[in-house]
Amino acid sequence: MFARYLRKKPSMAFFREGEPQKSQGFLQLAAAASGGRLSRRGLLERSALGFGWLAFNGLLADRTFASPVTVPRPTLPVRAERVVWFFMDGGLSHIDSFDHKPLLEKENGQPLKLANKKEDITGRTTPNVMASPWAFRPYGQCGKMVSDLFPQIGRHVDDLAFLHAVTGPSPDHESAIGFLHSGSLLQGFPSVGAWTSYGLGSEAASLPGFVVMGSNKRQCRTNGFLPPAFQASQFFKSGSLPLADLTPRESARLQQHKLAALAALDAEFLAATAGDQVIETAIANHEKAHAMQAAVPEAANLSAESAATLAAYGIGEDRKETNSFGRYCLTARRLLERGVRFIEIVKGGWDQHDKLATNHAKNARAVDQPVGAFLADLKARGLLDSTLVVFASEFGRTPNTELYGKEPGRDHHPWAFTIWMAGGGVRGGVSHGLTDEYGYHPLAGKVDIHDLHATVLHLLGIDHKQLTYRHSGRDFRLTDVHGQLIHPIIA
Partner 1 sequence: MSVCRLSPSNCWLLAAGLFAALSTGPAVAVSPEDLFESRIRPLLVEHCFECHAGDAAEGGLRLDSRAGFDAGGDSGAVIDPAAPVASLLLQLVRHEVADREMPQGADRLSDRAIADLEHWVALGLPGLPAAPAAAADVAAETWAAKLADRRGHWAWQPVEPVEPPAANHPVWSQTAIDRFLLAAMQQAGLEPAGPADRGTLLRRLTLALTGLPPTPAEVDAFLADSSADATERLVDRLLASPAFGEHWAGYWLDLMRFGETGGYVRDYPIPEAWRYRDYCVRALNADVPYDRLVAEHLAGDLLPPRHNPTLKINESVLGTGHLRLMEISSTATDVALEEAQMLESQIDTLGKAFQGLTISCARCHDHKFDAISQRDYYALFGTLASGRQTQAVIDDEAVRQTGVAEMTDLKRQIVAALTAAWREDLAALGDALAAELSGATDSAPIRPTLRTLLDQAQASAEHPLHAFAAARQAARAGQDPGAAFGKAAEAVRRLAADRTAKNAAAFTVAADFTASPGSWHAGGVLPDTLHQAGSDLALAPAGDEIVARVIGPGFASDRLSRKHAASLRSENFPLAAKFISLRVAGGDAAQIRLIQHNFQQMENVAHGAKVRHINSRLPTWVTLPVGHQASWQGGRSYLELVTKDDVAHFRRSDAGSGPFKQAVADRTGHSWFAIDQVVFHDQPKPPASELEVSLLLVNAAAATPVRGRGVHGDDLARALAAVGIAAVDATARGTATAVEARLLNWLLLSGLLRNRQADFDTQTQLLVNRSRQLDEQIPRFRRGPAMVAEGRGFDAALQRRGQPGQPGDAVPRRYLEVLAGVRPSDEAALDPRLALARAIVSPDNPLTARVMVNRVWSWLFGRGLVATVDNFGSMGEPPSHPELLDFLTAEFVANGWSVKRLIRRIVLTAAYQASSVPSAAAQARDPDNRLLSHMPIQRLRAETLRDCLLAVSGQLDTAMEGYTGPPDKGNGGGPPNRRRGLYQYVKREAQDHMMLMFDAPEGARTVGLRESTTVPGQALLLLNNAFVHRQAAAWARQSLSTHPGLSRDLRIEQFFQQALGRSPTPAEADTLSRFLETQADAYQLDAVARATDERPWADLCHVLFNTKEFLHVR
Give the count of residues interacting with partner 1 (CB under 8 A): 100
Q: Taking the complex as a whole, how short is the minimal distance between the CB of residue 362 and partner 1, in angstroms?
A: 20
* Interface map 363-382 toward partner 1 (x if CB under 8 A): --------------------
269 Cβ partners below 8 Å, 6+ apart?
279
Among the candidate windows 255-263, 318-326, 385-393, 417-425, which touches partner 1 by CB under 8 A? 255-263
Rule CB under 8 A: say whether 6 interacts with partner 1.
no
Among the candidate windows 129-137, 242-250, 303-311, 338-346, which touches partner 1 by CB under 8 A? 242-250
Residue number, 313 or 420, with CB nearest to partner 1: 420
Residue number, 54 or 444, with CB nearest to partner 1: 444
Among the candidate windows 5-13, 19-27, 259-267, 304-312, which touches partner 1 by CB under 8 A? 259-267
At position 274, the amino acid (one-letter code) is A
Q: For the segment 47-66, give every residue that binds partner 1 (CB under 8 A).
A: 66
Phi and psi dihedrals of 440, rounded to 5? -95, -55
Residue number, 239 or 382, with CB nearest to partner 1: 239
Q: Taking the complex as a whole, how short is the minimal distance between the CB of residue 307 and partner 1, in angstroms?
A: 33
Q: Taking the complex as a whole, how short is the minimal distance between the CB of residue 489 and partner 1, in angstroms?
A: 8
Q: Taking the complex as a whole, how short is the minimal distance between the CB of residue 135 and partner 1, in angstroms?
A: 18
> Which of 319, 365, 482, 485 contacts partner 1 by CB under 8 A?
482
Residue number, 12 or 484, with CB nearest to partner 1: 484
Residue number, 322 or 418, with CB nearest to partner 1: 418
Q: For the segment 25-44, give every residue that binds partner 1 (CB under 8 A).
A: 34-39, 41
Cβ-contact 450, 431 below 8 angstroms:
no
Rule CB under 8 A: say whether 298 interacts with partner 1.
no
> Which of 48, 282, 357, 361 contacts partner 1 by CB under 8 A?
282
Residue number, 128 or 255, with CB nearest to partner 1: 255
In whole angstroms, what is the distance from residue 208 CA to residue 330 CA? 17
Residue number, 351 or 377, with CB nearest to partner 1: 351
Q: Taking the complex as a whole, how short is the minimal distance between the CB of residue 455 and partner 1, in angstroms?
A: 13
Q: For the segment 374-433, give every residue that binds partner 1 (CB under 8 A).
A: 429-433
Q: For the segment 199-218, give every residue that binds partner 1 (CB under 8 A).
A: 216-218
> Which of 25, 102, 109, 228 contacts partner 1 by CB under 8 A?
228
**If we measure between CA atoms, which residue out of 423, 417, 414, 425 comes closest to residue 461?**
425
Q: For the segment 95-134, give every residue that binds partner 1 (CB under 8 A).
A: 119-124
Cβ-contact 416, 141 below 8 angstroms:
no
> Which of 54, 55, 135, 265 contacts partner 1 by CB under 8 A?
265
* Interface map 428-457 toward partner 1 (x if CB under 8 A): -xxxxxx------xxxxxx-----------
Q: Taking the complex as a whole, how short is the minimal distance between the CB of residue 166 and partner 1, in angstroms?
A: 14
> Which of 114, 289, 302, 403 contacts partner 1 by CB under 8 A?
289
The pairing of strands 417-423 and 387-393 is antiparallel
Cβ-contact 447, 166 below 8 angstroms:
yes
Rule CB under 8 A: say whether 473 interacts with partner 1.
yes
Q: Taking the complex as a whole, how short is the minimal distance between the CB of residue 441 and partner 1, in angstroms?
A: 7
The 3-state secondary structure of the chain, one letter per residue: CCCCCCCCCCCHHHCCCCCCCCCCCHHHHHHHCCCCCCCHHHHHHHCCCHHHHHHHHHHHHCCCCCCHHHCCCCCCCCCCCEEEEEEECCCCCHHHCCCCCHHHHHCCCCECCCCCCCCCCCCCEEEEECCCCCCEEEECCCCEEEECCCHHHHCCHHHEEEEEEEECCCCCHHHHHHHHHHCCCCCCCCCHHHHHHHHHCCCCCCCCCEEEECCCCHHHHCCCCCCHHHCCEEECCCCCCCCCCCCCCCCHHHHHHHHHHHHHHHHHHHHHCCCCHHHHHHHHHHHHHHHHHHHHHHHHCHHHCCHHHHHHHCCCCCCHHHHHHHHHHHHHHHHHHCCCCEEEEEECCCCCCCCHHHHHHHHHHHHHHHHHHHHHHHHHCCCHHHEEEEEEECCEEEEEEECCCCCCEEEEECCCEEEEEEECCECCCEEECEECCCCCCEEECCEEHHHHHHHHHHHCCCCCCCCEEEECCEEEECCCCCCCCCHHHEC
Rule CB under 8 A: say whether 225 interacts with partner 1.
yes
Q: For the segment 142-201, give every residue that binds partner 1 (CB under 8 A).
A: 142-144, 157, 170-175, 185-188
Residue number, 122 or 301, with CB nearest to partner 1: 122
Q: Taking the complex as a whole, how short is the minimal distance between the CB of residue 137 and partner 1, in angstroms?
A: 13
In whole angstroms, what is the distance from residue 468 CA to residue 480 CA? 9
Rule CB under 8 A: say whether 461 interacts with partner 1.
no
